[in-house]
Amino acid sequence: MRRAGMDYISLATMKRHTNWTAFYQESEQQNRRLVLIDPAAPCTHIDFKFHPDDTLLLGRESSGFSPQIHRQVPLKIRIPMVKEARSLNVAIAGALVLGEALRQVKAFSSFSDLSRNGNSL
């Protein structure tokens, strides 16, 4: 994480959970919606209505999610792609969906550098 986070890592709050069950239980206790990104999902990330406290779940590039996680997480979205394309890199997929989620909940307006420069999204 340190390498991937570069010098922005200090801006993030990270918490490591011991396992999926601990993470899932904490999410339920905090009433956070879990949103699974899955190429077979019926709803696209564009048509999905995000909430400010949603947690996006991205699976492994090689194997996706376990059947247990698929059963426990009812909210599933996909990124529309042309039929000839197999998949996107997980980091690209995450950034694409996160950008749409932030746009929908109007979170970009809270970024000070955008307002400081007179830019808006």
pLDDT tens string 64-111: 899 999 999 999 999 999 888 877 888 899 999 999 999 999 988 766
- Give me the domain span that covers residue 74: 31-116
**What Cα–Cα distance (Å) separates residue 84 from each residue in 9, 51, 81, 87?**
36, 32, 8, 9
User: C-alpha angle with apex 91: 88 to 95, nearest 5 degrees?
Assistant: 95
Number of domains in the chain: 1
Determine, yes or no, domain membership for 18.
Answer: no
pTM > 0.95: no
Determine, yes or no, domain membership for 5.
Answer: no
The rounded percent of the chain whose pLDDT value lies above 70 is: 86
CATH code, domain carrying 67: 3.40.1280.10
At 4 the pLDDT is 66
For residue 35, give the H/E element and its range. Answer: strand 34-37
